[in-house]
Amino acid sequence: MKFLAVLAFASGVFAAAMPDQSDLITDHVYCPHKECAEVECTPPQYACNEESTGWLVCDTDGTWVDGGSCEPDTTCEAIDDVPYCI
């Protein structure tokens, strides 16, 4: 019986020592670092870049990365939220 009492006490101590990580979960995405708590996008997501010369892809970290360039004399246009070089 003493063993169970010690076990219950020890589990309570360990639970209290665990850091609260609820502030690291944003939009149902776990973020292990506070600086990445604000994500730019949610994969899989695509968009035209600011110059409309190519498109961006949302990577698994929730940041936009270069997805490619449009051919010369074409521009990127979003049609139904999908970028196309036209």
The pLDDT assigned to 26 comes to 46
Q: Check residue 8 and report its DSSP letter.
A: H
* The residue count for the chain: 86
Question: Across the chain, where does the E strand assignment appear?
Answer: 25-26, 29-30, 46-48, 54-58, 64-69, 76-79, 82-85
The pLDDT assigned to 74 comes to 98
The pLDDT assigned to 4 comes to 46
Tokens matching residue 74: 């074409």
The pLDDT assigned to 39 comes to 76
> What residues of the chain score a pLDDT lower than 70?
1-37
- How far apart CA 39 and CA 60 sit, in angstroms, is 10
pLDDT digits (tens, 9 = 90+) for 41-65: 999 999 999 999 999 999 999 999 9
Place of tokens 């695509």: 46
When divided into structural domains, the chain yields a total of 1
Provide the domain limits for residue 34. Answer: 2-85
